[in-house]
Amino acid sequence: MSIQIEIDKEKLMELFELGVLCAADFRCLTAESKQTVSKVCLTSCSKRLQTAAATIPISIHKQTH
């Protein structure tokens, strides 16, 4: 059973950033929605990667490079 809902772009970004929702968990009903979700998802992933990279201790970072 599926449920059709509408969600604010900023709320979607928040859910992605919190890691409680993944783009693979749902499907978009229009091409425009799919494009917007893709952009929001990529922005969220980019932010998470930047945060993760900033928390790696320098000594560990030097060992891997």
Quickly state the pLDDT bin for 60 (edges 50, 70, 90).
low
Give the tens place of pLDDT for each residue, 2-28.
899 999 999 999 999 898 999 999 999
What Cα–Cα distance (Å) separates residue 37 from each residue in 19, 20, 25, 61?
A: 15, 15, 12, 32
**Tell me, what's the pLDDT at 64?**
56
What Cα–Cα distance (Å) separates residue 35 from each residue in 28, 40, 45, 57?
A: 9, 9, 15, 36
Q: What is the CB neighbour count within 10 angstroms for residue 16?
A: 21
Taking residues 45-64, report their average pLDDT: 68
pTM of the model: 0.70
pLDDT averaged over every residue in the chain: 85
Asked whether the predicted pLDDT for residue 51 surpasses 60, the reply is: yes
Quickly state the pLDDT bin for 38 (edges 50, 70, 90).
very high
